[in-house]
Amino acid sequence: MPGRPYILKETNWKTVRSTDYDVVVLPWGAIEAHNRHLPYGTDVIQSEWIAAEAARLAWEKGAKPVVLPAVPFGVNTGQFKVTLDINMHPSTQLAVLRDVAESLSGQGFRKLLVLNGHGGNEFKPALRELQPKFPRLVMALINWYGLEALEKYFEDTGEHGSEMETSNLLAVAPGLVLPLADAGTGKTRPFRLRALREGWAWSLRDWPSVTDDTGIGNPALATEEKGKKYLQAVTEKIASFLADFAEADPDRLYEP
């Protein structure tokens, strides 16, 4: 059975050489523990699935995006003490993105979307640094987890191994989710300093000091149906952007 033409790792040179791809999508995740019941690759699985589904919908609209293999490692500098949480330093992440951008720019591609699925990844500084180096490659960023208000879909709006992520995995990879009875509550310990608690000052969180089960947010009310509804809204929004991005003239992105 032939691979999907919009998923690079599934397709072939015969298809690539005959397809005029108009947007390149780079999913980016992380490898880290997600409470007791979700796989370490939760961020990668979600980002790859969302990228693929958004690309499929965009193809139906007439666009021709192509999805690169996801980068599995993310910035996890606060999680060195959590076994097998793999950290990629921001400087390494910048170097990887630079190499991808250099390859695409040298091959004549004009549009790159970084589809980020991990809160520790901060791509705006990287894009600010790289854009002047590759001026003909328009680079955009979407943090897919920030596209929809979580309270519209979930009772608990925790950020990690939570009701949202558990619902998503139940929808797209249920065989990798342990029974919810095995999950921790995702209870967290806040900073003592008020400014850090309120969020108007920032300090890197030491993950084992924050949570005993590696989760932030209670997954107890997660369901497959919630995940399907949330993912549908997210992928449709990204697909719409891909279609618009594909159609846009990269040299005329601003209103007259």
Give the chain's domains with CATH numbers.
8-247 (3.40.50.10310)
* Mean of pLDDT values over 182-205: 97
pLDDT mean over 177-188: 98
Give the pLDDT mean for 95-119.
98
Q: Pairing mode, if any, of strands 111-116 and 138-143? A: parallel
**Which residues have a Cβ under 8 Å from the Cβ of 51 and sit 6 or more positions away?**
25, 27, 67, 70, 115, 238
CA 128/CA 125 separation, integer angstroms? 5
pLDDT, position 37: 98
Q: What is the pLDDT of residues 12-71, one digit of tens each?
A: 999 999 999 999 999 999 999 999 999 999 999 999 999 999 999 999 999 999 999 999
Phi, psi at residue 248, to the nearest 5°? -70, 145
Where residue 1 falls among pLDDT bands split at 50, 70, 90? Answer: confident
pLDDT at 119: 97
Mean pLDDT value across the chain = 97
> Mapping DSSP to helix (H, G, I), strand (E, B) and coil, where does residue 56 land?
helix
- Res. 2 pLDDT band, cuts 50 70 90: confident
d(CA 187, CA 212): 8
Q: Decide if 57 contacts 15 (C-beta within 8 A).
A: no
Chain centre to alpha carbon of residue 138: 19
pLDDT surpassing 80 at residue 195: yes
